[in-house]
Amino acid sequence: MAEPINVVVTGAAGQIAYSLLYQLAAGSVFGPEQPINLRLLDIKPMMDILQGVVMELEDLALPLLRDVLPTADAGVAFKDAAAAFLVGAMPRKQGMERKDLLAANVKIFKDQGEALEKFARKDIKVLVVGNPANTNALICSHYAPSIPKENFTAMTRLDQNRAQAALASRLGVQVDKVKNVIIWGNHSSTQYPDATHAVADLPGKGSVKVSLAVNDNAWLNGEFLETIQKRGAAVIAARKMSSAMSAAKAAGDHMRDWWFGTKPGQWVSMGVVSDGSYGIPKDVVFSFPVNIKDKKFEIVQGLEISDFARSKLDITAKELEEERAEAHQVLMP
Ligand code: NAX
């Protein structure tokens, strides 16, 4: 059996981590042959609660789970880490402006970037879940210059899963019969869920373009798009808490595909540092469709972008440029 790898989960006492940790310990992300050491980072006031999570991890009695270390010290958590789920972030409190939230969070991700730079493996794979996820990932990468920027990604997989499920429901097929729906841009309400290039495997018809199968562009460019953009808010309104089970599942999906690769002919959406593809400004973390092989992703090239899509891409890119400017303002006034 392989040597254990160190896997970090930040915000480890929170609700997403609570669902994520089981998946990691059970081998459904890094595979059934890969033992793991868990490094659980949270803030000092959460250490008692975290101890309860550690007890439950022990009680899982899962053989792949080797060493579990709860800590409030980022240097300890990131030591020799091979993978990190950066879930922990400052939640929006009542009366807090979006700007204040961004300011609090970019400082956290600056500190964690610096700790990654000093202590983590140089081939570490970092998935940022904590919001604003795209800009947090950019900041983190910026403060860890010796780790390739391709090793920092932000999660839009939950949005992709939501979009795939909504299309499957509309077409009356199982969710795995729909593929290649794209989330472009920011993990925020400006994201562009794009079904233009998606295909569905329909009974008796084989592979059909989703746009032809749905045959209702007004729905695809209207209700579908808005439902996915606002799905997070709808879950909060109903559950009085934000998405956790589905967010943890998506984080597992994202990392598993990064680790093991995507299936031939299928792409997934990830927030990655833009290389200028599709006319998106460089140096923002933008969600693109990617193929993954040998633990490296490549942005899918050559997709046709309609005028409608262009306008949506520009809106979400502009928001990310604004977030980047605000982050720089906080960190380098
Ligand atoms: P919780 O409030 O349940 O947990 C967050 C945990 O992070 C808490 O235990 C807190 O003490 C900890 N934390 C705060 N500052 C920290 C720091 N500096 N270092 C380590 N830990 C720290 O939130 P939860 O529901 O788990 O959500 C976590 C984050 O995921 C939030 O920012 C949330 O907005 C974001 N989400 C991102 C999604 C995505 O698709 N990218 C979807 C789900 C979710 O909304």
b/e 59-77 (16+ beta carbons within 10 angstroms → b): eeebebbeebebbeebeeb
Distance CA 91, CA 125 (A): 24
Whether 129 has a binding-site annotation, put simply, is yes
Return the ligand 1 atom nearest residue 17 CA. 26
| DSSP three-state, residue 25 | helix
Tell me the average pLDDT across 309-330: 96
Quick one: average pLDDT of 299-314?
A: 98
Is the pLDDT at 95 greater than 80, yes or no?
no
Q: Which of 87, 110, 231 to mutate to test the pocket of ligand 1 (most atoms within 8 A of CB)?
A: 87
Q: Once rounded to an integer, what is the mean pLDDT over residues 225-236?
A: 93
Helix pair angle (15-26, 47-60), 10° resolution: 30
Question: Nearest Cα to 283, choosing from 134, 160, 144, 151?
Answer: 134
Q: Residue 90: is its pLDDT beyond 90? A: no
The protein residue whose alpha carbon is closest to atom 38 in ligand 1 is: 129
What DSSP line would sit under 165-203, residue for residue? HHHHHHHTS-GGGEE--EEEB-SSTT-EEE-TT-EEEET
Q: Is 291 annotated as a binding residue?
A: no
* Contact residues of ligand 1, CB 6 A cut-off: 10-11, 13-17, 41-43, 46, 87-91, 108, 129-131, 133, 155, 158, 187, 232, 242-244, 247
215 Cα to the center of ligand 1, angstroms: 39
Residue 186: band (very low, low, confident or very high) from pLDDT cuts 50, 70, 90? very high
Residue 98 has pLDDT above 80, yes or no: no
The model carries a pTM of: 0.97
The mean pLDDT value for 60-65 works out to 97
Q: Which residues are catalytic?
A: 187
Nearest atom in ligand 1 to 46's CA: 11
The phi and psi torsions of 2 (rounded to 5 degrees) equal: -65, 160
pLDDT at 86 over 90: yes
